[in-house]
Structure 1
Amino acid sequence: MNGTWIEVKVVTKSEALEPISGIFYALDCKGVAIEDPNDILGREQGPLTWDFADINILEHKGNAAVVKAYFSKEDNIDEVINYVEEKIKELKDIGINVGEGKVVRTEMHEEDWANNWKKYYKPTKVGNRIVIKPIWEAYVESDEELVVELDPGMAFGTGNHETTRMCVEALEKYVKADTTVFDIGTGSGILAIVASKLGAKHVVGVDLDPVAVDSAKENVEFNKLDNIEILEGNLLDVVNGKADIVVANIIAEIICILTDDVKKVLNKEGLFITSGIIHDRRQMVIDKLQGSGFEVVEVNMDGEWNCIVAKLS
């Protein structure tokens, strides 16, 4: 990838980064970069904690989050921008805070973006044991830590978002040595990799997006894991057998659509870990789960988001 590219940027809020990234991954973009001020503001500062990072390296100095996608000059950028603006409106309509939600187009040279975004991704501890480490960063783990090698530029889902963190914490709590885990909407593969690192016997990551599937496969290779399958397609169409845990970090409406299919692939007393649920949609998901024969065993909150753990009765 050499030459001049068109950057399409959305100025937003941290809580909307993953769904807005998903908008771009549905398009034939040539790369996506994310600037999340919480990557820095949410990190402990001081001796023996994470490396200090200057908030001024971010374009909006920590006052906004940004998703940037890159397209070739031959792409129909007007069409892309119209599509993105329509999808952002849909996110607003379902109650996701997209902040300013402004879409900006800029022409730029590839060398200006290909590597500069890496400067503010640092190793991040999630939950009690999991450390998410960008593949280009050095990190010496302690004995009890489990390091997940990730290329955060390849697909959304880096461990910094509240919904991902809560899923990781739930997996830490419930994954056992003989557990089979299905990860629906696997994205970067982060939750599938975490489940494997925690000792799951077999893990399947499923995604409809071929870009995400390729990305997840590469991230699995970075971690040298041999018990993870990454599959493209709908859950029931591509998985074989049943799981002890199904995890889905998506949005509430899709979770409700998937619940009955998840029930078919879960073992008795299996767990459905769901996240990506805003407060206004929490009861809707609980009602759907209970109506489909699940018992809600945990509801955890972080910021504007909820993670619900339900057991199949």
Structure 2
Amino acid sequence: MHLTSQFDPFSEALLCFGASSVAVDEDDDDDDEDEDVTSGSSLASKEVAEGVNIILNPGLAFGTGEHPTTKLCLLLLQSLIKGGEAFLDYGTGSGILAIAALKFGAASSAGVDIDPLAIKSASHNASLNNIPLEKLELHLAPSDNREMPLRKEQFDVVIANILLNPVMELADHILSFAKPGAAIGISGILSEQLPSVKERYSPLLEDISVATIGDWVCMSGTKKRS
């Protein structure tokens, strides 16, 4: 399939999302095509003077910017990053949110995923965007209960864009890495699943709000201090 036709819906979605331009490099002799995504900010609640360029080769990992939950998380992330924050992307996939956080002004990012291919993809994309290793750390989530090399209450902003079951089962675990008063985003869920997710997180979060695109939602709030 011709690469440009494959990404026409992707380009259109990004332009609707507020991108100032989208360019796809074609190379018939190379399977590692890179997407040069200029993510604009016209729909974000935080004013940004210039667009943010993110080069992505998602490979098999989730996170191209096309899916509604990724759009919702990008919009939320841009509104939350004021400058200097420590950001955790739980379920990092291609690393798009972790990289975007640094582009928006975060001091550091950490990405966690259960899929080794996702960690490889995120690492590759960080390299494509000239992200230094000391600013972005990537961790493979262990299949058992072993601790990851992340500190509890380490992060100012935490976003988990994952599936419903881990969203529900790992709520306390995910929020354990957030500082009291940290900004939290939970996505990867459908509108019909929101009531149960909201009930699960209400004891942990305050000032809960919800953004939607179609049938998909992103719930956000701040971690309770006690």
Same fold (TM over 0.5): yes
1:220 and 1:240 map into 2 onto residues whose CA distance is 19
* Amino acid in structure 1 at the alignment position of 2:68: E
- Match of 1:232? 140
Correspondence 1:194 to 2:104:
no
Bigger-Rg structure (1/2):
1
| Paired residues for 1:15-94 under 5 Å | 35=6, 38-42=9-13, 50=21
Among candidates 56, 73, 81, match of residue 167 of structure 1: 73
Gaps of 5+ in 2: none
| Paired residues for 1:233-312 under 5 Å | 233-234=141-142, 237-241=147-151, 242-291=154-203, 293-312=204-223
Instruction: Report the CA distance shift for 1:209/1:113 in structure 2 as closer, same or farther (over 3 A).
Output: farther
Shift of 1:155: 2.3
2:30 and 2:116 map into 1 onto residues whose CA distance is 22
Gaps of 5+ in 1: 1-33, 54-110, 131-141
Shift of 1:129: 8.9
* Amino acid in structure 2 at the alignment position of 1:265: F
Instruction: Report the CA distance shift for 1:113/1:249 in structure 2 as closer, same or farther (over 3 A).
Output: farther
Q: Secondary structure at the match of 1:237?
A: coil
Instruction: Report the CA distance shift for 1:180/1:112 in structure 2 as closer, same or farther (over 3 A).
Output: closer
* Amino acid in structure 1 at the alignment position of 2:61: A
Among candidates 105, 112, 122, match of residue 206 of structure 1: 112
Q: TM-score, normalised by structure 2?
A: 0.78
Instruction: List 4+ stretches of structure 1 deviating above 4 A.
Output: 34-37, 48-53, 111-115
Shift of 1:51: 6.6
Shift of 1:176: 2.6
Pairwise CA RMSD: 3.3
Is the 1:124–1:159 contact (alpha carbons within 8 Å) kept by the matching residues of 2?
no
2:85 and 2:125 map into 1 onto residues whose CA distance is 21
Instruction: Report the CA distance shift for 1:43/1:155 in structure 2 as closer, same or farther (over 3 A).
Output: closer
Q: Deviations over 1:99-128 (max 9, x none)?
A: xxxxxxxxxxxx98965x959x66353544
Is the 1:183–1:192 contact (alpha carbons within 8 Å) kept by the matching residues of 2?
yes
Shift of 1:154: 4.9
Q: Secondary structure at the match of 1:271?
A: strand
Q: TM-score, normalised by structure 1?
A: 0.58
Shift of 1:43: 5.7
Identity score, percent: 28
Is the 2:98–2:136 contact (alpha carbons within 8 Å) kept by the matching residues of 1?
yes
1:49 and 1:240 map into 2 onto residues whose CA distance is 36
Q: Secondary structure at the match of 1:187?
A: coil
* Amino acid in structure 2 at the alignment position of 1:245: V
